[in-house]
Amino acid sequence: MAPFQETPEGAAPIDSVPLRFGVVLYPGFQALDAFGPLDALNALSLHYPTKLYIIADTLQPVSTKTPQNFEFPASSFAQSIVPTHTFENVPEIDVLIVPGGMGNRPPATMDSVINYIRQVYPRLQHLITVCTGSWLVAQAGILDGRKATTNKASFKRIAGLCPSVEWVGRARWVVDGNIWTSSGVTAGLDVIFAFIEKVYGEPVAKLLANWLEYERHTDSTWDPFAELYETQ
């Protein structure tokens, strides 16, 4: 079959780019934190032979419903995603995506996620977080002394909990070395396209953003939510 979409000139060669992706899920993850980046990468999979491992504590479907029952009483509104691997049996990956979500707050125990991030990070080419996903990475000790950002509504709380991180209060996303942290929820779309542009080439990022009909924020310091939530 002819390719669905021609790969543009200027795309990075297949043998030069990371192809093995992982995403960690936990109960009460924020759906769009995961599915913003994942759907841009779904589109990338039309052009590169990529693999995705969906990683969780067990192979049971993981729900967006918060274990803390933050939802309105009597609400029954959630989506469940099927993991492909557990933390115990996930293959080697090149890029890890860590979504945020209300479900990562106490009394939830995030030890398995945090331990996995800590042990896999030295072998990653890139680590990408959305929203409070950066809080989990911070708890793994990987952000100590590094620049990073997070969800702006949770910024002050998280900055107070993890003072060893150089938190950036006005940022759609922040890159420090091979760690890409982004602000709340929809900022995941902007960080993933910045990542695709850098790694797979500008023509690829442009093609895929146009295909998702997404008007990117290409300035990483664009952040009207910094004023709104008084993070700077």
Where along the sequence are the contacts to a copy of itself (CB under 8 A)? 1, 3-4, 21, 30-32, 35-36, 38-39, 41-42, 44-52, 54, 61, 64, 68-82, 102, 151-153, 183-187, 189, 210-215, 217, 224-225, 228
CB of 146 to a copy of itself, least distance (A): 22
DSSP 8-state class, residue 214? -
Burial class (CB in 10 A: 0-12, 13-18, 19+), 210: exposed
Tell me the β-bridge partners of 96: 22, 127
Closer of 15 and 77 to a copy of itself (Cβ): 77
Task: Considering the complex, state which of residue 16 and residue 76 has its C-beta at the smaller distance from a copy of itself.
Answer: 76
115 to 1, 91, 118, 186: CA distances (angstroms): 43, 16, 5, 26
CB of 144 to a copy of itself, least distance (A): 25
Q: Supply the minimum distance, in Å, between the C-beta of residue 227 and a copy of itself.
A: 11
Write down the least CB distance from residue 188 to a copy of itself, Å: 10
Compute the distance between CA of residue 223 and CA of residue 14 in angstroms, rounded to an integer. Answer: 34
CB of 68 within 8 A of CB of 157?
A: no
- 164/211 with CB nearer a copy of itself: 211
Query: Which 8-state DSSP code applies to residue 57?
Result: S
Q: Which is nearer to a copy of itself, 86 or 118 (CB)?
A: 86
Cα-to-chain-centroid distance, residue 101 = 11
